[in-house]
């Protein structure tokens, strides 16, 4: 078999964990052709984002403190593995942030350059851990295997056909030579060779892209949980593992924040019917979750309860909009042009309004954009926002044709006294989602889990 294996940040958080991953890889590589995709060390992407901001504001004390921590973690791992690959990269990063701090401005492009070091540093370390296990391997960056994107820095879109072709070509020789390629997740490059990143949680996406390019038999995503669960175990301690799940359900779960997955992470695999397995590095013999569309699949109505915390709700009201075709398109277009991702949209006929949920950090920008464009032109009369709301979603593809599911959802909320601010149900009947106050979120998730998935 040909297997693409992706290891998340928690799996490669330090040298010891990298060695654990290397052992897991070695076992599989004895029988199969394996390609490894690696994330940055746990928390490193956050650290690098903060570093870029410190550089952009020429905040030297913060910059130095961050740099010190980044050096420390990588040098510690490097020393423990007897590797010598990190110092030149860290020096390069030093120079880069110094340059940014001298200009005193961080751009999306230079931020991507900084953030890319997380994966650029972890890949040679994991390669070294493999070497210690006696596994022949070679480290590559996304750029080196031919993963190319557009120039939307921070959330660059892969140029899919070209990338698939180039990746297959680049990995052919190492695989034929019996090597295990270790490829950086999350980072890529434009066609002109400028480093880009493909969006938070993007290593999972890198893995399925490589899987598609190689026509892999399976893609395995190794993390610190046994697989996809009926809820986030940090909120619902009784959450259970989902052993098998359909792609559409898993994709919907990803959209609502399960496993901090990149929203498009499963697409390349789903389109080509490549099964995706989610497994736990710290419980490798566990079955994990198998995402697949064939065979016998459970028919529970609700498979998972999820929450997007720290969202913002915007209510746009004004009779002028009523009955005007294209209003929703206009609003989504305005936000889209600003790179604002609308997570839920609700059209209310009776109130002549539209409600939108966006990620908390984008709320202020979304509000400003809509006010500037819709109020002045008279297209809307009022724009109100609610901060710190949570989007709750129940997901399951067998909801279709099961009347009464929505009733059960809202009765459960009523019993707990949770006030619902807005409701949306996709026409695919794959999920029901609604908005509550942020502080009510965890309670709502627990109540729904109890109602549909047991105590």
Show the CA angle centred on residue 36, arms to residues 32 and 39, nearest 5°.
155
Closest distance to ligand ADP from the beta carbon of 426 (Å): 18
Closest distance to ligand ASP from the beta carbon of 56 (Å): 19
Q: Indicate the pairing of strand 137-140 with strand 180-184.
A: parallel
* 39 vs 315, beta carbon nearer ligand ASP: 39
CA distance 387 to 364: 9
Report what 185 binds from Mg ion, ligand ADP, ligand ASP, none; CB cut-off 5-8 Å by kind: ligand ASP
* 126 vs 444, beta carbon nearer ligand ASP: 126
> Cβ contacts of residue 46 below 8 Å, gap of 6+?
none
Are 10 and 35 within 8 A, CB to CB? no
Q: Indicate the pairing of strand 187-190 with strand 148-149.
A: parallel
Closest distance to Mg ion from the beta carbon of 202 (Å): 8
Binding stretches for ligand ADP (CB under 6 A): 8-11, 39, 201, 223-225, 228-229, 231-234, 258-260, 304
CA distance 15 to 41: 10
Among 202, 312, 318, 352, binds ligand ASP (CB under 6 A): 202
* 204 vs 249, beta carbon nearer Mg ion: 204
User: Is residue 185 a contact point for ligand ASP (CB under 6 A)?
Assistant: yes
How many angstroms separate the Cα of 25 from the Cα of each of 17, 29, 61, 79, 142? 12, 6, 40, 21, 20
* 201 vs 254, beta carbon nearer Mg ion: 201
Closest distance to ligand ASP from the beta carbon of 382 (Å): 37
* 15 vs 453, beta carbon nearer ligand ADP: 453
Report what 428 binds from ligand ADP, ligand ASP, Mg ion, none; CB cut-off 5-8 Å by kind: none
Q: Strand, helix or coil at 240?
A: coil
In 3D space, the residue among 209, 116, 220 whose CA is nearest the CA of residue 163 turns out to be: 209
Among 3, 18, 21, 39, binds ligand ASP (CB under 6 A): 39
Closest distance to ligand ASP from the beta carbon of 274 (Å): 19
Closest distance to Mg ion from the beta carbon of 203 (Å): 6
Binding stretches for Mg ion (CB under 5 A): 8, 201, 260
The residues in 9-38 that bind ligand ASP, with binding defined as CB under 6 A, are 9
The residues in 116-145 that bind ligand ASP, with binding defined as CB under 6 A, are 118
* 118 vs 201, beta carbon nearer Mg ion: 201
For the chain, the straight-line distance linking the first and the last C-alpha, in angstroms and rounded, comes to 39
Report what 232 binds from Mg ion, ligand ADP, ligand ASP, none; CB cut-off 5-8 Å by kind: ligand ADP
CB atoms closer than 10 angstroms to residue 134: 8
* 201 vs 257, beta carbon nearer Mg ion: 201
Residue nearest to ligand ADP (CB): 8
CA 204 to chain centre: 7
CA distance 83 to 142: 21
In 3D space, the residue among 2, 8, 5 whose CA is nearest the CA of residue 262 turns out to be: 8
One symbol per residue from 340 to 369: x for binding ligand ASP (CB under 6 A), - otherwise; what is it?
------------------------------
Residues facing residue 38 across a β-bridge = 7, 184
User: Is residue 227 a contact point for ligand ASP (CB under 6 A)?
Assistant: no
How many angstroms separate the Cα of 303 from the Cα of each of 28, 152, 247, 300? 31, 34, 12, 6
State the residue for tokens 């990190």. 86
Helices (H), 258-322: 267-271
Report what 200 binds from ligand ADP, ligand ASP, Mg ion, none; CB cut-off 5-8 Å by kind: ligand ASP
Are 221 and 277 within 8 A, CB to CB? yes
Closest distance to ligand ASP from the beta carbon of 350 (Å): 41
* 204 vs 249, beta carbon nearer ligand ASP: 204
> Per DSSP, which regions of 122-206 are E strands?
137-140, 148-149, 180-184, 187-190, 195-197
CA 10 to chain centre: 14
Among 101, 184, 203, 315, binds ligand ASP (CB under 6 A): 203
* 49 vs 307, beta carbon nearer ligand ASP: 49
Report what 124 binds from ligand ADP, Mg ion, ligand ASP, none; CB cut-off 5-8 Å by kind: none
Q: What phi and psi values does residue 162 have, to the nearest 5 degrees?
A: -60, -45
Q: Strand, helix or coil at 86?
A: helix
Closest distance to ligand ADP from the beta carbon of 199 (Å): 12
- Helical (H) or strand (E) element with 69: helix 60-81
Closest distance to ligand ADP from the beta carbon of 68 (Å): 24
Closest distance to ligand ASP from the beta carbon of 25 (Å): 18
Residue ranges in contact with ligand ASP by CB under 6 A: 8-9, 39-40, 45, 118, 185-186, 200-204
């Amino acid at each position: 078999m040909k297997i693409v294996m992706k290891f998340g940040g928690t799996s490669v958080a330090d040298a010891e964990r990298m060695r654990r991953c290397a052992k897991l890889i070695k076992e599989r590589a004895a029988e199969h052709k394996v390609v490894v995709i690696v994330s940055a060390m746990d928390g490193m992407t956050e650290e690098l984002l903060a570093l870029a901001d410190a550089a952009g504001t020429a905040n030297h004390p913060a910059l130095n403190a961050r740099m010190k921590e980044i050096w420390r973690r990588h040098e510690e791992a490097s020393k423990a593995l007897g590797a010598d690959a990190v110092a030149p990269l860290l020096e390069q990063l030093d120079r880069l942030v110094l340059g940014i701090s001298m200009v005193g401005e961080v751009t999306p492009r230079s931020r991507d350059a900084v953030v890319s070091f997380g994966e650029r540093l972890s890949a040679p370390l994991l390669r070294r851990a493999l070497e210690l296990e006696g596994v022949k391997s070679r480290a590559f960056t996304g750029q080196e295997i031919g993963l190319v994107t557009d120039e939307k820095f921070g959330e660059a879109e892969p140029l899919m056909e070209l990338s698939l072709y180039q990746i297959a070509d680049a990995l052919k020789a190492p695989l034929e030579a019996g090597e295990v390629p270790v490829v950086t997740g999350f980072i890529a490059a434009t066609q002109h060779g400028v480093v880009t990143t493909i969006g938070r949680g993007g290593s999972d996406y890198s893995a399925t892209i490589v899987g598609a390019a190689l026509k892999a038999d399976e893609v395995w995503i190794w993390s610190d949980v046994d697989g996809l669960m009926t809820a986030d175990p940090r909120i619902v301690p009784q959450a259970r593992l989902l052993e098998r799940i359909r792609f559409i359900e898993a994709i919907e779960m990803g959209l609502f924040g399960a496993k901090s997955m990149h929203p498009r992470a499963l697409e390349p695999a789903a389109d080509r019917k490549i099964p995706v397995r989610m497994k736990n590095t710290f419980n490798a013999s566990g079955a994990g979750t198998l995402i697949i569309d064939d065979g016998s699949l459970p028919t529970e109505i609700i498979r998972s309860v999820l929450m997007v915390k720290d969202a913002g709700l915007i209510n746009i009201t004004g009779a002028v909009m009523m009955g005007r075709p294209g209003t929703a398109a206009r609003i989504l277009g305005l936000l889209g042009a600003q790179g604002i991702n609308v997570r839920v949209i609700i059209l209310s006929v009776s109130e002549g309004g539209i409600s939108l949920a966006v990620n908390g950090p984008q709320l202020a920008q979304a509000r400003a954009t809509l006010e500037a464009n819709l109020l002045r032109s008279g297209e809307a009369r009022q724009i109100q926002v609610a901060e710190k709301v949570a989007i709750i979603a129940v997901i399951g593809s067998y909801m279709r044709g099961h009347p009464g599911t929505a009733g059960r959802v809202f009765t459960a909320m009523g019993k707990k006294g949770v006030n619902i601010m807005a409701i949306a149900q996709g026409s695919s009947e794959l999920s029901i989602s609604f908005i509550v106050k942020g502080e009510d979120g965890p309670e709502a998730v627990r109540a729904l889990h109890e109602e549909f998935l047991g105590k």
